[in-house]
Amino acid sequence: MGKKEKILITDDEKSIRNALREILEFENYSVIEAENGEQALQAIEKENPDLVMLDIKMRGMDGIEVLEKIKESKPELPVIMISGHGNIKIAVEATKIGAFDFLEKPPDLNRLLVSIRNGLKSSELIKENRQIRTELHGNTDIIGNSPAIVNIKKLIEKVAMTSSRVLITGDNGTGKELVARAIHNNSGRASKKFVDVNCAAIPSELLESELFGHEKGAFTGASAQRIGKFEQADGGTLFLDEIGDMSAESQAKVLRALQENQIVRVGGNERITVDVRVLAATNKDLPLEIEEGNFREDLYHRLNVIPIHLPPLRERQDDIALLAEWFLARLREREIIFSGKVFSNDALNELKKQDWPGNIRELQNAVERLALLSPEDEIMAKDVQKFVQQKKKPTELLGKLIDETDSFHEYKEEAERLFLIKKLEKFDWNISATADAINIQRSHIYNKMKKYDIER
């Protein structure tokens, strides 16, 4: 037997709540109650119901006001409005705000049950559609109400339907790919492919083949023709991530492709026309890279038609609580955690105090850790202090290790691990740049990362 669907009844008349509870429990629904708007909003946050029945006329916050707040935080949650005052104007207003249905008191039993079944079914379809879109295109929800994020959302709306190239800048973990996907999904190219390339993760000698493809026999190991990313993205969007790590030779060829809208596969002669919108991203200061001779100025101007800069999380602290709640809600939706798991206000305030050098990605990992490891239904400030510890300085950690161990081998390995993490962070986790700087082979760095369980 599947789990019972949970329905929240909100009405300030106890007799109405009792009557509805009796009907719904007879139909095998799980029922929770609230006698006013504030209790309803708290119950929605804590109990995560599948559907809400909401009276319009209540003491304190009225039903329309509660409906607006529900739709702000949980737009997919179906809400059935009930009222003893048959008023077409109110019904139309509620529907515009997002109510699923409007019933008059006392509701006809058959109409009530049909409305509930349809509401639950519509919610399930919305969740399925969201899951399909996420699997196809990746999640593109941009969470935040800070002025910087509001401006970025407006900018995405403006540029999405154009063909302009966009350069997205910001620190690691700030959501640059998320912005790129949002632009694609809101563009006229949304039905076509979104193809992404991490320029830092592909060795420079292979990047040209990755971008433009190659013909059979073009080089040793080219046993068959390969279609490159530009051709794969034809009609759609090509996202060049970490563009600042591209070699000078690759930069020249990308520039030519952007100028001519044509590419030539490695080892081939045919000029292939492509219709691709290029979005690019980097965590580097490209004007500085141009001054130092590491990046082509003409390519920069080709890419930087519309600049979008993502601020680090420490500069948008007001969004931290929103993001944490959103990540927790996604874990509840996927049934990874108990549906009643919530943050206390003290825990959210404690999260705001952290520095988050890894930005949104680090916060997401921290929320999942808290959701799984905190012992109570409510995540407390002490849980944040226990499970979300900011990194101590390497010198502090090594000093502590000297005091706690007499093993030279253990100390040497820990020192090597911390040295490697520090250098990887310095070079923005670019393996090639780190390998060159510390004068060891890339393969050795990968082996050390595996040995010491080092992850970005």
The set of residues, in sequence order, having a beta carbon less than 8 Å from that of 207 and lying 6+ positions away, is 199, 246, 247, 250
| Residues 392 and 203: beta-carbon distance below 8 Å | no
Tell me: do 30 and 112 sit in the same domain.
Answer: yes
**Does any domain span residue 292?**
yes
**Whole-angstrom Cα distance, residue 57 to residue 82?**
9
Kindly report the CATH number assigned to the domain that includes residue 58: 3.40.50.2300
**Does any domain span residue 201?**
yes
- Residue 97 belongs to domain spanning: 6-136
Query: What secondary structure letter does DSSP report for 380?
Result: -
Q: Which residues of the chain have pLDDT under 70?
A: 1-3, 85-87, 127-140, 389-398, 400-401, 456
CB atoms within 10 A of CB 57: 16
pTM: 0.61
Amino acid at residue number 97: I
Q: Which two tokens stand for residue 423?
A: 């250098």
| Residues 197 and 239: beta-carbon distance below 8 Å | yes
Tell me: do 159 and 126 sit in the same domain.
Answer: no
| Residues 195 and 232: beta-carbon distance below 8 Å | yes
Residue 1: per-residue pLDDT = 46
Tell me: do 116 and 199 sit in the same domain.
Answer: no
**Whole-angstrom Cα distance, residue 218 to residue 263?**
16
**Whole-angstrom Cα distance, residue 169 to residue 101?**
44
The set of residues, in sequence order, having a beta carbon less than 8 Å from that of 242 and lying 6+ positions away, is 198, 199, 200, 201, 281, 282, 283, 430
Tell me: do 93 and 224 sit in the same domain.
Answer: no
**Whole-angstrom Cα distance, residue 43 to residue 34?**
7
Sign of the four-CA dihedral 381, 385, 389, 390: positive
Tell me: do 219 and 284 sit in the same domain.
Answer: yes
Tell me: do 79 and 195 sit in the same domain.
Answer: no
- CA geometry: angle at 193 spanning 187 and 198, to 5°? 105
Given 346, 361, 387, the domain boundary residue is: 387
Given 108, 136, 164, the domain boundary residue is: 136
369-408 pLDDT tens trace = 999 998 898 999 999 988 886 544 556 666 766 777 777 8
What H or E segment, with its residue span, contains residue 120? helix 109-137
| Residues 377 and 340: beta-carbon distance below 8 Å | yes
Query: What secondary structure letter does DSSP report for 275?
Result: -
**Does any domain span residue 141?**
no
**Does any domain span residue 38?**
yes
Residue 79: per-residue pLDDT = 94
- Distances in Å between the Cα of 301 and the Cα atoms of 161, 277, 280, 287, 293 are 21, 15, 12, 10, 15
**Whole-angstrom Cα distance, residue 23 to residue 106?**
13
**Does any domain span residue 142?**
no
Place of tokens 């409906």: 67
Place of tokens 């969740």: 127
Q: Which two tokens stand for residue 310?
A: 């993502």
| Residues 254 and 300: beta-carbon distance below 8 Å | no
| Residues 202 and 210: beta-carbon distance below 8 Å | yes
In 35-165, beta strands by DSSP E: 51-55, 79-83, 101-104
**Does any domain span residue 32?**
yes
Hey, which residues does 9 pair with through a beta bridge?
33, 53
Domain count along the chain: 4
Tell me: do 198 and 307 sit in the same domain.
Answer: yes
Tell me: do 332 and 304 sit in the same domain.
Answer: no
DSSP string, 177-232: HHHHHHHHHTSTTTTS-EEEEETTTS-HHHHHHHHH-B-TTSSTT--S-B--HHHH
Tell me: do 341 and 437 sit in the same domain.
Answer: no
**Whole-angstrom Cα distance, residue 147 to residue 243?**
27
Tell me: do 153 and 292 sit in the same domain.
Answer: yes
Query: What secondary structure letter does DSSP report for 77?
Result: S
Tell me: do 306 and 324 sit in the same domain.
Answer: no
**Whole-angstrom Cα distance, residue 82 to residue 56?**
6
Given 276, 311, 346, the domain boundary residue is: 311
Tell me: do 284 and 200 sit in the same domain.
Answer: yes
